[in-house]
Amino acid sequence: MSETMVSLGQAVLDSQPFSVLLGARLTAFAPGQVELVVPLRAELLQQHGFVHGGVLSYAADNALTFAGGSALGKPVVTAGFTINYLKPAQGERLIARAAIVVAGKRQAVCRCDVFAATGPDEYLCAVAQGTIMMMGAGDADA
C-alpha cells in the first residue's frame, strides 16, 4: 500500500461534501485496488434498522471509481454500475474493497465487494460492478 496514494485519495474524499458527511476514509489504496470505510451511525439506517441501500451504493460507487481512476488517471467519473444486495447490513462500519477487472485507455471495468463489520468480524453484504471513464474536455460542463 502506498501511503502517498492513500493521502492523495483521502484529499479527494475530503473535497467531496457528501463523503465528509458520511465520514468516509480510505484505509488502503494501491494501483488498481482500494479499500474505503464508512463508519455507521443511526442516521444511515433505514426503517428496519439496516444500513440504507443508498449508503451501500455510495461505498461501492466511490470504491469502484478510486480503483478505476488509479489506472486511468484523473479526472474520472462513474459511467454506470450495478449492485446486488446479498444480506442486510448491520454493524460498526462498511468496508468497500474494489479492484480493476480490466482497464483500457479511457475506461476500466471494476468489481467491488462491500462488507458490514463489527470489530474484526465482517460479512459480505453487497457486490457491485461498474465502468469508470476518464472525463474528456468539456465533460465538466455537461
CATH number where 100 lies: 3.10.129.10
Are the C-beta atoms of 112 and 63 separated by less than 8 Å? yes
Give the CA angle between residues 71, 73, 79 to the nearest 5°.
80
**What Å distances lie between residue 63 and 29, 32, 111, 114, 136, CA to CA?**
10, 11, 9, 9, 21
pLDDT at site 142: 45
* Residue 95 grid coordinates: 468496508
Is the Cα torsion angle 124, 129, 133, 139 positive or negative in sign?
negative
Domain that holds residue 13: 3-141
Structural domains of the chain, count? 1
- The neighbour count for residue 23, using CB atoms within 10 Å, is 14
pLDDT at site 88: 97
Are the C-beta atoms of 64 and 41 separated by less than 8 Å? no
pLDDT at site 138: 53
* Reported pTM: 0.92
pLDDT at site 58: 98
pLDDT at site 28: 95
**pLDDT tens for the 142 residues of the chain, in order:** 567 889 988 999 999 999 999 999 999 999 999 999 999 999 999 999 999 999 999 999 999 999 999 999 879 999 999 999 999 999 999 999 999 999 999 999 999 999 999 999 999 999 999 999 998 755 554 4
